[in-house]
Structure 1
Amino acid sequence: MRYDYLYRYYDLYTEGGFKRMMNEGFNCRNNHYPYALTVTGPGHATVYTGSVPAVHGIVGNEWYDQFSKKVIYCAEDSTVKTVGSTNASVGKMSPKNMLTSTVTDQLRIATNFRSKTIGVAIKDRGSILPAGHAANAAYWFDSKTGNWVTSTYYMEDLPQWLKDYNAKKMPANYLTKGWQLLLPADKYIQSSADDVAWEGLISGSKKPVFPYELAGTAGDPFSVVLDTPWGNTITKEIAIEAIKGEKMGKGTDTDFLAISFSSPDRIGHRAGPNAIEQQDDFLRLDREFADLFNFLDSWVGKGEYTVFLSADHGVMDVPGFAQSHKLPAGLISGRQLQATISTALDETFGKDKYMIQSENNQIYLDHALLKKKNITVAAITEVVKDAALTIPGVADVLNLTDMGKAPLNTYQLELYKNNVNAKRSGDIQIISQPGWFYGTATGTSHGTPYNYDTQVPFVMFGWGIKKGETLRRTSVSDIAPTIASLLHILPGSGNVGNAVEEALKK
């Protein structure tokens, strides 16, 4: 969710959702990620740890591990098993790869583990990382069976309330409903036309136009539901069922429910931020928020709970959209880039495999080979840079092992420094130009140090929160310490942020 969605669609929001948060609460209007590689896993970890990838260790959704010689997924855990599904792989997940504690962990510690902390999201990483290490539970969605699941890291069997929800087969019900516009088409004046060349297709559709009929694939029948606002609906439903089933907010200690709505990301990747699909999704998400807040009003009372809103990253305009309006943008050919770099290295140092992996636009080098040939990372970087800068869309090349000598502007250098973890990051970073990314002609992406990816909402309302706003620059790393200050608990063990004190009632 980019920050501008708060205002871009404001006139069509209801009074009970986004508007309620903005009009009753405190809005940090200049809130940014303090690091460069803005992707989902690091985003969730940063929101809840108050830290940065260099410290909390979630440097990407995946990274290459130099010790095990394999790619690691941020939430993977081969020592645990699936609970709630016959799909064995979906539940091999836990927060063990996150190196620091979260504000949710600190709440559990502060109350001697009486507080309940639960994570809910379609994506496993969007549930697990926010819930923290000491969570009571984290639940995520299995698109192969349509069930919400967890892992044996948390429990051996699903609670009855979740079994009851799974038994209703709501995803199958929503699959039959398709996706129609919420409002008349002429209301979507903030979006592009409904059929443009740069939009991707939903599974089963022939054109990216409304109305959509939803057809799941044989091996993954419910994934298509997540590509629509129905993904937000089932997330809201599970959130409410968790509150009721676990009696959250009814005890003497504060409970914490971490909810991530993941369908805006899936829709945004495919259609882009200027599509009618994304506007309709946020208008519907606004209604889901209103339903959730109304439920909380009745469950614990108005003003008796606190909500904060942020996002794991922003998003760039689709290059095709930008180019159609004469804005600088384009696609980088990853295949051409890799071939050009490989050729340059072979010509300079002799034919060999110097690059063993590429993740997060970073190159991981074979250090044993470099040592054998007496080649330094600096020497490799110099060759890579000369070669890569010939490729359209490449802005710079950075030696991540010696950033003190990097001839990069001060602002971006700090963002990249906050990304680098010595055990998990690559050796060389390829930096793209603004408006450029690695991908295809349809859809869009994120993961850069540019404003469209770094600026996300931070809005709070409810118990302990003042009404107001600030335009001073705040950081996503400030979110967790702000909530920790509100609760009078310690921030996470790797915290680097500061509380937004002007948002809190004295």
Structure 2
Amino acid sequence: MLRLLTVLIFLLPVVARAQAELPAPKLILYIVVDELNHEQLQHIQSKLSREGINRLSGQGMRFMAAYSSDLSAYPGTRLTSFYTGTTPSVHGLIGEQWFDKKLNKYVEAATNQPEGLELTLNYNQARSISDYLKSFYGPGAKSAAIGMNSSWLWHTLGYSPDHLFQFNIESGIFYDMINTQEPEWLTRFNDNLLRSDLLGRQWGPINDISSYSEFQYLAPSREKEFRSFLYNMKSGEGKAFERFSRSPYANTLIRDLAVSLLASSDFGKDNAPDVLTLGFTARPFVSNGSILAVEKEDMLIRLDRDISSLINFIDSEIGRDNYLVIFTSAAESSLDHSSAGKKGLTTGVVEYNKTAALLNLYIMATHGQGKWVLGMHDNSVYLNHQLIKEKGFSLKEMQEHAASFLLEVTGIERAIPTHDLIFQPETETLLAKNLYPTRSGDILLSLQSGWQSAVSKAGTRQTANSGNVPVPLIIRGWQVVPGAWFEPLEHHYITPLILKQMGIVHTSVLKAPRVSLLKTITTEKQ
């Protein structure tokens, strides 16, 4: 025993030295686009410049079959899975909101209100990539995010974030939601914003209107009638900069603030890797319901130019091989079917609030008066466990009773009671990956093809595609082997693979497929 202990003590400096010699990027940059899907990216790629997204793809690894197994369409769920390297069954962010059975109340997954920030960070039950880096490299490994008042950006930061710069759509400036002391560079940046006439700008097509996809799919007889567009940034009602925040100029501001952060601070400069997330948008303030409307395509073309100039700056400031850039999306983009179903077509909207009210009336007719249904959110239906217990009914039978009614609702394809799912030993099925017992609902819903839920206040829209959704994913820079990967890959495995390259063990790496993403590293024998 003493001999074994002596050997272990002798090896400790060797192991520590080997870990210290493992390379690490100075910066991990996440470019996250709200409402962009794989199909749209492929469709528009030929219209983009060589220096933006196409440069990332050409010089990096493009995952052609990356996908998310998350059932919720809430951006925070997808990003939490991606940043933690786990699934909702582990991290617990099952949707935009849920009924917490321990607290006996509904909770929001994220909020931009100061009093709820600590709760927001702690709803995630798994460590994020920035948490692993802080544990390994110390507090010098910083995490930050920049966005346009997007509450889901909180889920990218980990438990001990350093900065979250959000755009105030009332005042038109950026503020740090974590630090009350504003750095000088941010004060200068905001002063320049106040002097500029952001609301005086107009937004029209950057290219000839006939080059856009919406025009190209028109019948020749309708081409003369095709609309162009020219929008003012001043909002007719609501917050002063609300319209501006969903225009291409918002993305340019995010790029500019990122450049100011990197140029005016030590972010991405030392040997401890920092994590920076940029929350761009491809969700214009106006849409005709098309999956690639002219405004959306124009936003993406302009965003590509912003990405090009951003990459040029970071390549020069930090060095191409010294940082890692990861391009992906926050949420699926889908057609708006809010009126289609009313026309008798095979598409439409399932109104969750109305459906929950009808379900409650149905249960009342068979089981007596009471609020049997607490609500429907994301893909979950929540029943009143306390009332069911007081009335002496079986929870399992009540779930099955409610599910049988929901299967008759137009637009709902499946209604699956969760009672038996919670106790089954299988953990790798799609449903098992999305079950978190203290938060998941009593019934999981999937919608019929072409159907969707109404848009929530945070912009979440459940669709028939929820679960195993293709995700755009490109990784370029530090240690990346250029090429394309065509085999299916759950996107959350990227985090453990990156951490492994830095000598940090993530438990999910044991299940991760062998992907030729990063270069093989060898260390000299001591």
- Scaled by the length of structure 1, the TM-score of the pair is 0.84
Q: Secondary structure at the match of 1:210?
A: coil
Q: Could you tell me whether the CA contact under 8 Å between 2:454 and 2:461 is conserved in 1?
A: no
66, 69, 72: which is aligned to 1:34?
69
Aligned mates of 1:451, 1:430 — CA distance in 2: 10
Deviates more, 1:131-140 or 1:19-28: 131-140
Paired residue for 1:135?
A: 161
Q: Could you tell me whether the CA contact under 8 Å between 1:400 and 1:427 is conserved in 2?
A: yes
Q: Could you tell me whether the CA contact under 8 Å between 1:171 and 1:225 is conserved in 2?
A: no
Kindly indicate whether residue 179 of structure 2 is the aligned counterpart of residue 155 of structure 1.
yes
Paired residue for 1:456?
A: 471
Q: Where do residues 1-400 of structure 1 align in structure 2 (5 Å cutoff)?
A: 1-76=36-111, 80=114, 94-151=120-177, 154-169=178-193, 173-189=197-213, 210-216=229-235, 219-261=238-280, 263-265=281-283, 271-319=289-337, 328-400=346-418
Q: Could you tell me whether the CA contact under 8 Å between 2:144 and 2:162 is conserved in 1?
A: yes
What stretches of structure 2 of length at least 5 have no aligned partner? Answer: 1-35, 219-225, 521-526
Q: Secondary structure at the match of 1:237?
A: helix
499, 505, 510: which is aligned to 1:484?
499
What stretches of structure 1 of length at least 5 have no aligned partner? Answer: 82-88, 195-206
1:432-452 alpha-carbon deviations (Å, 9 max, x no partner):
112101238xxx964346279
Amino acid aligned to 2:478: W
Shift of 1:96: 2.2
Shift of 1:77: 8.3
Q: Secondary structure at the match of 1:44?
A: helix
Amino acid aligned to 1:253: A
Aligned mates of 2:111, 2:294 — CA distance in 1: 35
Kindly indicate whether residue 438 of structure 2 is the aligned counterpart of residue 426 of structure 1.
no
Shift of 1:180: 0.8
Amino acid aligned to 2:107: I
Cα 1:373–1:27 change in 2 (3 A) is same
Aligned mates of 1:469, 1:184 — CA distance in 2: 32
Amino acid aligned to 1:161: W
Kindly indicate whether residue 478 of structure 2 is the aligned counterpart of residue 470 of structure 1.
no
1:270-323 alpha-carbon deviations (Å, 9 max, x no partner):
744221111111111111110110111110223332111112232233337989
Larger radius of gyration: 2
Cα 1:73–1:399 change in 2 (3 A) is same
Cα 1:38–1:303 change in 2 (3 A) is same
Shift of 1:464: 0.5
Q: Could you tell me whether the CA contact under 8 Å between 1:3 and 1:455 is conserved in 2?
A: yes
443, 449, 452: which is aligned to 1:437?
452
Aligned mates of 1:51, 1:23 — CA distance in 2: 28
Aligned mates of 1:428, 1:172 — CA distance in 2: 51
Q: Secondary structure at the match of 2:121?
A: coil
Deviates more, 1:448-457 or 1:378-387: 448-457
Amino acid aligned to 2:41: L
Cα 1:93–1:494 change in 2 (3 A) is farther
Cα 1:252–1:361 change in 2 (3 A) is closer
Q: Could you tell me whether the CA contact under 8 Å between 2:243 and 2:285 is conserved in 1?
A: no
Shift of 1:468: 0.9
Aligned mates of 2:517, 2:351 — CA distance in 1: 45
Q: Could you tell me whether the CA contact under 8 Å between 1:51 and 1:497 is conserved in 2?
A: no
Cα 1:338–1:55 change in 2 (3 A) is same
Paired residue for 1:202?
A: none
Aligned mates of 1:209, 1:38 — CA distance in 2: 32
Q: Could you tell me whether the CA contact under 8 Å between 1:447 and 1:453 is conserved in 2?
A: no
Q: Could you tell me whether the CA contact under 8 Å between 2:388 and 2:394 is conserved in 1?
A: yes
Cα 1:404–1:369 change in 2 (3 A) is closer
Amino acid aligned to 1:9: I
Amino acid aligned to 2:392: N
Amino acid aligned to 1:286: D
Aligned mates of 2:196, 2:414 — CA distance in 1: 47
Q: Could you tell me whether the CA contact under 8 Å between 1:27 and 1:468 is conserved in 2?
A: yes
Cα 1:156–1:57 change in 2 (3 A) is same
Q: Secondary structure at the match of 2:396?
A: helix
Amino acid aligned to 1:280: D
1:215-261 alpha-carbon deviations (Å, 9 max, x no partner):
22565111111221122111111211221232222223322212221
Amino acid aligned to 1:57: G
Amino acid aligned to 1:469: A
Paired residue for 2:6?
A: none
Aligned mates of 2:482, 2:464 — CA distance in 1: 30
Aligned mates of 2:195, 2:118 — CA distance in 1: 22
Q: Secondary structure at the match of 1:429?
A: strand
Shift of 1:149: 2.3
Paired residue for 1:501?
A: 515
Q: Could you tell me whether the CA contact under 8 Å between 1:171 and 1:234 is conserved in 2?
A: no
Shift of 1:264: 1.3
Q: Could you tell me whether the CA contact under 8 Å between 2:91 and 2:124 is conserved in 1?
A: yes
Aligned mates of 2:513, 2:160 — CA distance in 1: 23
Paired residue for 2:3?
A: none
Q: Where do residues 400-415 of structure 1 align in structure 2 (5 Å cutoff)?
A: 400-403=418-421, 414-415=429-430
Amino acid aligned to 1:240: V
Aligned mates of 2:195, 2:422 — CA distance in 1: 51
Aligned mates of 1:382, 1:451 — CA distance in 2: 22
Q: Could you tell me the percent identity over the aligned residues?
A: 21
Amino acid aligned to 1:174: L
Cα 1:401–1:246 change in 2 (3 A) is farther
- Scaled by the length of structure 2, the TM-score of the pair is 0.81
Paired residue for 1:86?
A: none
Aligned mates of 1:405, 1:119 — CA distance in 2: 38
Aligned mates of 1:364, 1:335 — CA distance in 2: 12
RMSD: 3.2
